[in-house]
Chain A
Amino acid sequence: MIRNITIGQYYPTSSSVHELDPRTKILITFIYIFGLFFVNSFIGYTFVALSFFGAVKLSKVPLKFILRGLKSIMFILLFTVALNMFFTRTGNTLFAIGFISITDEGLMIAAKMGIRLILLIVGSSLLTLTTSPIELTDGIESLLNPFTKIGVPAHEIAMMMSISLRFIPILLEETDKIMKAQMARGADFESGNIIQRAKAMIPIMVPLFISAFRRAEELAMAMEARCYRGGNGRTRMNKLCYKKKDGYAFVIATVFIIVCILL
């Protein structure tokens, strides 16, 4: 059961957005975030939102799926909006209770902040929804490659990411197994206050860590046996290459950023 969970939130389907080179998508996501910070008017936000909806339409990912990602940041979102609303002192005061006052400018700033955050989150989640974790790590490795000269371990970062992706489900399953084994011997993980429950987790963490270290050792040996010696002199089976589509995407992104700056 737990083995089939997908890490990240990749939505597998075939669309022109899915087929783009991962590097294109990562760069365009950055351009999008950049553009979002340039605009500071409701017309601007409308334009960014429309561009976003256009991209969603192209990607064939259901909008519901994307908005679901907002749930996890609801608290931060509300907190930021509230903070901006209550603590902006400039502008005309609409009403005030004690030391809390709400001004028209405060409302405006809060609304803009909220919109900006929402667009930021949904926009970047579109990247992870349309790019598989493997493509994402390949893309990151390739983008970081020029920086290896100044000491960025591009290959190592990508290798670490892909090994983590490989072992997260395995370790989750193992946790489950250990918990069941402890429960079968009378361990209680459900009752008690938070400290007691945290204490009950120790007998799970210890064997899990031991096993993770053992796995790491064996994996390292297996990798060495297969002649792994870092990124130098290594080739890749699937080479990333930009296609015509990526060119179009960059043109659209350029238009987008220019409009953002003008608005």
Chain B
Amino acid sequence: MEKKDSLKNNNLIEAKNIVFEYYNYDENGEKKDTIKALNHINLSIEEGEFVVILGHNGSGKSTFAKHLNAILTPKEGTLFVRGIDATKEENVWDVRKEIGMVFQNPDNQIVATIIEEDVAFGPENLGVEPAEIRKRVDEALETVGMSEYKRLSPNQLSGGQKQRIAIAGVIAMKPKCIVFDESTAMLDPIGRRQVMETMQKLNKEYGITIIHITHYMQEAILADRIVVIEKGEVLLQGTPKEVFKEVELLKRIGLDVPDTTYLMYLLNQEGFNFESDLLTVEEVAEAIWQSR
């Protein structure tokens, strides 16, 4: 796998004014009401970025993610992935080659009964030569640290391990970007940590763009950029420090902020005067120590 060379300043994903609606039907099959899941979303993501998309349930964050991989197509607006128009039916497979996707439930995305067979599934679909598939599968399993399990059945693995297999299955297709659609939501803390470490490794060492959709604030801290989506719109975006400064705004839309940020916020409310963009436990401890 090629290492990250230089950070080119071109946009990997360019979404403009995306609208997506779905409908509720009554018993007679008539449209009852229309729900606007995405309401004119504008977002561009650069190559090599680690972006976290935050939002509570029903905010449209997963719907947006499914657009990136052309599983859903927008009703209005334009979406370009590496210059390819993702709204066109004929480009679907090209888009999916560039953008891999890891879903929430680890069990429901593994196809084969043997781990290495499952990792091979993607490249097999792309029509890659057998010898090359073998090479990619071994590399991908090495990257996620699951080489020793390659002949086992997925049923013998823990949730975190299964999710890493799913990641291996995606990186064997050599995508430019991987979208994690709440991939950590069903995992235990250990599994979550393993998956987050794998994500960071892919981003830092291999230069793969990561778009991680989550509602765990601790995971959002690791991002280059956080995008907060609310009611199908981009409410806020910026570095973790910039975003988590907005404690009141985030609380109002039902999102949490990291405990550290919240502690600083509460202390400041009590009349202290701390910087409002401290994130890690160390930073906070340092600041409190200094202010004695």
Q: Which of B121, B123, B130, B173 contacts A238 (CB 8 A)?
A: B130
Residues 212-224 of B, flagged 1 when their CB comes within 8 A of A and 0 if not, give: 0000000000000
- Output the least CB separation between A154 and chain B (Å): 15
Inter-chain contacts of B105 with A (CB < 8 A): 215, 218
Answer whether residue A201 sits at the interface, using C-beta atoms and an 8 A cutoff.
no
Q: Is the CB of A170 within 8 A of B121?
A: no
| Cα separation A238 to B114 with both chains bound (whole Å) | 12
Q: Which of B71, B110, B127, B134 contacts A224 (CB 8 A)?
A: B71
Q: Is the CB of A226 within 8 A of B130?
A: no
| Number of residues from A at the complex interface, CB < 8 A | 29
- Output the least CB separation between B107 and chain A (Å): 6
| Cα separation A239 to B169 with both chains bound (whole Å) | 19
Inter-chain contacts of B129 with A (CB < 8 A): 235
Residues 118-146 of B, flagged 1 when their CB comes within 8 A of A and 0 if not, give: 00111111111110011001000000000
Q: Is the CB of B154 within 8 A of A225?
A: no
- Output the least CB separation between B60 and chain A (Å): 17
What is the count of residue pairs linking A and B with beta-carbon distances less than 8 angstroms? 94
Q: Is the CB of A237 within 8 A of B130?
A: yes
Inter-chain contacts of B93 with A (CB < 8 A): 227, 229
| Cα separation A260 to B233 with both chains bound (whole Å) | 76
Q: Which residue of B lies closest to A220 (CB)?
A: B108
Q: Which residue of B lies closest to A218 (CB)?
A: B108
Q: Which of A170, A215, A221, A237 contacts B124 (CB 8 A)?
A: A237
Q: Is the CB of A228 within 8 A of B121?
A: yes
- Output the least CB separation between B129 and chain A (Å): 7
- Output the least CB separation between A231 and chain B (Å): 10
Q: Is the CB of B125 within 8 A of A234?
A: yes
Residues 65-97 of B, flagged 1 when their CB comes within 8 A of A and 0 if not, give: 000010100000000000000000000010011
Q: Is the CB of B113 within 8 A of A226?
A: no
Stretch of A21-29, A48-56, A106-114, A160-168 lying at the B interface: A160-168
| Cα separation A229 to B122 with both chains bound (whole Å) | 11
Q: Which of A3, A215, A225, A235 contacts B133 (CB 8 A)?
A: A235
Inter-chain contacts of B126 with A (CB < 8 A): 227
Answer whether residue B156 sits at the interface, using C-beta atoms and an 8 A cutoff.
yes
| Cα separation A238 to B134 with both chains bound (whole Å) | 8
Q: Is the CB of B134 within 8 A of A237?
A: yes
Q: Is the CB of A133 within 8 A of B113?
A: yes
Inter-chain contacts of B113 with A (CB < 8 A): 133-134, 162, 165-166
Inter-chain contacts of A229 with B (CB < 8 A): 93, 125
Inter-chain contacts of A192 with B (CB < 8 A): none
Answer whether residue A4 sits at the interface, using C-beta atoms and an 8 A cutoff.
yes
Answer whether residue A252 sits at the interface, using C-beta atoms and an 8 A cutoff.
no
A-B interface, 3 closest residue pairs, ranked by CB to CB distance from nearest:
A222-B109, A218-B108, A237-B120
Q: List 27 A-B contacts (CB under 8 A).
A: A4-B155, A4-B156, A134-B117, A162-B111, A162-B112, A166-B112, A218-B105, A219-B108, A219-B109, A219-B111, A221-B103, A222-B101, A224-B71, A224-B96, A225-B71, A225-B96, A226-B125, A227-B93, A227-B96, A227-B122, A228-B121, A229-B125, A234-B124, A235-B123, A235-B124, A236-B124, A237-B117
